[in-house]
Amino acid sequence: WPEGTAVLYLALGCFWGAEKEMWQLPGVVTTAAGYQGGFTAFPLYEEVCTGQTGHTETVLVAYDPAVLSHTELLRTFWTLHDPTQGFRQGNDRGTQYRSAIFTTTPEQAEAAATTRALYEPELRRAGFGEITTEIRPVDGEGGAGPFYYAEDYHQQYLHKVPNGYCPVHSTGVACPLPD
């Protein structure tokens, strides 16, 4: 990737629709579907779907922060799904569909905490509950651990199968910008 590329890992339900939304953002260098946040090394899709691996369906987003700021990427993340759902998004249920942000820099962690704090009151005003999104660094104690690339057929799936199922589950509530 070009020098200066940042990487953030985002889980917001089914990774097919999430990845498609992310690859369309200006400043995104590349995306990939994968598994992260669990305890099983090199999990397969079938294993993740059992709920026994602890992994989420996650999208690796590599981006140019000079074009797409951490804050703007996270505002997009928040508004593409319902971060109050716990272990589900829409009809998709299970631990693999939970909402999570796995950061690689302190600046991303700060932007995640700030945007969460701004978004939660907006969701509550609209009748939604508390945000259940986990925010963890990739590395270190309590970290999310490595990102495992999903099988080839999952990569850019909605490009290969344009009418495939996997919608995003937006609440329709806008996420404000920090001052």
Residue-wise pLDDT for 142-162, tens only, equals 999 999 999 999 998 888 988
Per-residue pLDDT of the chain (179 residues; tens, 9 = 90+): 899 999 999 999 999 889 999 999 999 999 999 999 999 999 999 999 999 999 999 999 999 999 999 999 999 999 999 999 999 988 889 999 999 999 999 999 999 999 999 999 999 999 999 999 999 999 988 999 999 999 999 998 888 988 877 777 899 999 998 87
14 catalytic residue (yes or no): yes
Tokens of residue 107, six digits: 């600046």
Question: What is the predicted pLDDT for the residue at 48?
Answer: 96
Q: From CA 58, how far away is CA 14, in angstroms rounded?
A: 8
Q: From CA 97, how far away is CA 88, in angstroms rounded?
A: 5
Question: What is the predicted pLDDT for the residue at 166?
Answer: 78
Q: Which residue among the candidates 14, 49, 166, 175 is catalytic per the annotation?
A: 14
DSSP letter (8 states) at residue 114 = H
DSSP H or E stretch at residue 27: none
Q: From CA 111, how far away is CA 113, in angstroms rounded?
A: 6
Question: What is the predicted pLDDT for the residue at 163?
Answer: 82
Question: The tokens 């404000």 sit on which residue?
Answer: 176
Question: What is the predicted pLDDT for the residue at 162?
Answer: 81
Q: Which is nearest to 101 in space by CA: 91, 90, 89, 115?
A: 115
